[in-house]
Chain A
Amino acid sequence: MPRTPDLLPRLGAFARLLHDAGVEAGPRRLTDATRALNHIDLKQQGDFRNALRAVFVSRKEDIVTFEAAFDIFWAPPDPRSAAGALPGRSRGLPMSPERAKVWAEALGLNSSGMNREPDATAVPASSSGYSADELLRHKDFEQMTWQETEQVRRLLEAAPWRVAERRTRRLRPARAGRIDLRRSARHAIRSSGELMQLFRRRPRVRRRPLVLLCDVSGSMERYSRLLMIFAHAIARREDLEAFVFSTRLTRITRLLRYRDLDRALDSVSKGVHDFSGGTRIGEALADFNRHWARRVLGHGAVVIIVSDGWDRGDPAQLTAELIHLRRSAHRLIWLNPLLGSEGYQPLTRGMAAALPHCDDFLAAHNLQALDDLGRLLAGLGSRSRI
């Protein structure tokens, strides 16, 4: 790759392409890339690629996007055209279907607009407090009108509960607790080495991280929107990792970060490809246990699975994965929207397999039920299982 006056603008265009695909490629990185290229032999296509990757990528997930972008943009020049032609000119070059898909997804995800429901702002703010509207509190989510859903959203966002705290290993000054030698000695020095006063410190407390695994398969469709509203409400104030699953697992943590609810929901539905498909809970949990558990279950996380337990997968796998999950989490809670229906018995194969391995089994069909969950979460102390 010959150094030409064209290289810098090309690098800029490449950075923009990466940026559009969701890889952070700001001016600082562009500068780094320019500097990096001074140190390598541009004729070595492999080194050129490695150098740009070292600069622009900072997450494993971005590597495949980077590779796809690189292939599109810096493709080797067509041998039929003039020798030494500039990279980035050729179009329509062969790309593996896999890469093409990744690429399309990356670009698609980023292009979600602000598709607000037109009357989103027309709903009057509820003047009643959190517990005022008893009727709404006990109404099944399934039967709610859009306006009622909106009201629920406000109530959820204002809900007073907080996830329980756990002690960390960081220490902070306190009246009682272990002796703080650093501070005590500091004071003693002022009084000629006499320990006049003992200072103490004790572990700082932190709220437990929450991990939400939400079933969005066909049988859960009626509840999906409300559960996403629930997830969004929590994500705004708690440390939440959220995943949805039906036939496969998708992480939606980043998608829930949009402040604007509709934008968040919109990006979730665009980012998840099998909304309302069939359910394979065991496989989804297996995926979670292998690829995410070690990353998101640190610091004593509480795991909440939301599903009606209609499962087309293998119950033995579901059991095995639940056992593993329960051991890695501080607490495993299963929410089932059907549990609120009169006469419901958790007899589906999936539910029967799951039940013995959860710490808690709660309903999730109305606001009252979510409120109960809130109380449970707030009550989870530092101690392990009860």
Chain B
Amino acid sequence: MNHTIYHTANGKLIQNDTDNCFYLQFKGAEYRMAVCALIAFKNRLDQLNIEEMLLSDASLNAIEIIPLCNREHLLVLTLDEIIEMKDLVPGTLVMLELNSIVQQRIVRAVV
């Protein structure tokens, strides 16, 4: 079963309960990610300094190549796309944390 966790204008992150993994849909492409791959992807995004990239002389053509954890895909992102990803992925993690809180309060601790 698929659950849309978070979406932005061009992207969507979906959790699939059957596969136990996430699907990142971005601009028509779809990338399968295990939990560890999603965390690794977020770590890579966290390391990108938008402010630095914007102030850099080469900012107009700035692209970043981010290999996904399993090396099946390489994401080539422009500055705009990085900004959108920096909304999509952390947004997803906030929603997942909310889901954890709901599970903890309703499903697990039935006392």
- Do these two chains really belong together in a complex? no
Binding site for B on A (CB under 8 A): none
Binding site for A on B (CB under 8 A): none
